[in-house]
Amino acid sequence: MKEVVLITGASGMIAKELAKKIGKEYEIRFLTRKKKHDHEYEWDIRKGTIDETALENVSHIIHLAGANISEKRWTPERKRELISSRVDSAELLRNALRKNKLKLKSFISASGINFYGTETSEKIYNENDPPGNDFLSEVVVLWERAADDFKEQDLAERVVKIRTAVVLSEKDGALKKMIPPIQYYIGSPLGSGQQYMPWIHVEDICSVYELALKNPAMDGAYNAASPQHTTNKDLTKKIAKVLGKPLFMPNVPGFVLKLIFGELATAILEGSRASSQKLQDAGFHFKFPDLNEALEDLLKKQ
């Protein structure tokens, strides 16, 4: 009998790709706001409701739910939504597990590489480093604390937190947004272009979750970022090269991005490096450790 894996954030890119990857070995269920298929179950984080039949015989929960960090300006209301979508959703799951007297083999939560803050420096962060002191760091700290509660309240044997870098995919996310300007000859680095952009190929991030699911020795936080570090300028230039397009526009000034995005601009204009050594020590092997190879794989159909 297959173990049951319940995945939140059903509409997201990672959830869809991960389900394809592990679907033959596990029974996959999704929590979603609107049920469309038999293996989907509804929940409403704002109302605090969940279809508890989703939890029957569940062994693992992979918690990917969370509002998109870079989708909208960070108004006070949006900031509350960014936190609530991560923290309150975890609390809803905890309450449902406790009510039904259930205990998971593992609770695997998405997290962010922004745990360490967004300041650009020469430091390469590892999982033992303390959190930063900006808003994104605050979001991730609260996010991880909500995940840790599953183990502290004896609702899961282990908790794994995947501190995820920018996920590169031609279907969604940062790369998809960067392609059109470059194709139309208006692409350029952002701000100084020297800010680091930790990244990971979508296929690799799905493999990280698969390993976290299958390796009972994995516990705690893991940086999920390619071992090859790059800056915004380098990434932009390599995308253009793979697409066969020239880059001749000047950098987009930082003040322009601040006018457009407000406080969110800090997440665009700053960035630091993070080590994935702990993840590799746990047995993970990157299929796409090299940025050129990753981009060629993703952009070959463009």
Between 36 and 273, name the one with better pLDDT.
Answer: 273
**Integer Cα distance of 241 and 295 in angstroms:** 10
Residue 4's pLDDT is what? 97
**Integer Cα distance of 228 and 47 in angstroms:** 43
**Integer Cα distance of 268 and 253 in angstroms:** 12
**Does 248 fall in a domain?**
no
Q: Which domain holds residue 132?
A: 4-231+263-299
Residue 172's pLDDT is what? 87
**Does 281 fall in a domain?**
yes
pLDDT tens profile 24-77: 999 999 999 988 888 999 999 999 999 999 999 999 999 999 999 988 899 999
Q: Which residues contact 266 (CB under 8 A, 6 or more apart)?
A: 118, 134, 135, 136
Please tell me the total count of domains within the chain.
1
Summarize the confidence of residues 192-212 as an average pLDDT: 96
| Contact call for residues 96 and 150 (beta carbons, < 8 A) | no
Residue 215 pLDDT greater than 70, yes or no: yes
Run of H or E including 7: strand 4-7
DSSP-derived secondary structure letter, 170: S
pLDDT tens profile 88-140: 999 999 999 999 999 999 999 999 999 999 888 889 999 999 999 999 999 99
Between 118 and 283, name the one with better pLDDT.
Answer: 283
What is the reported pTM?
Answer: 0.95
**Does 182 fall in a domain?**
yes
| Token code pair at residue 130 | 């303390």
**Does 246 fall in a domain?**
no
Closest CA to 162 of 1, 6, 4, 14: 14
**Does 237 fall in a domain?**
no
**Integer Cα distance of 183 and 168 in angstroms:** 17
**Does 108 fall in a domain?**
yes
Residue 209 is part of a domain; what is its CATH number? 3.40.50.720
In DSSP notation, 104-149 reads BSEEEEEEEGGGG-S---S-EE-TTSPP-SSHHHHHHHHHHHHHHH
**Does 134 fall in a domain?**
yes
Question: What is the average pLDDT value for the chain, to the nearest integer?
Answer: 94
Residue 258's pLDDT is what? 83
Evaluate the CA torsion angle 203, 81, 115, 87 in order and state its sign.
negative
**Integer Cα distance of 21 and 227 in angstroms:** 23
Closest CA to 141 of 124, 161, 125, 122: 161
Residue 260 binned pLDDT confidence (cut-offs 50, 70, 90): confident
**Integer Cα distance of 197 and 244 in angstroms:** 22
Residue 301's pLDDT is what? 60
**Does 117 fall in a domain?**
yes
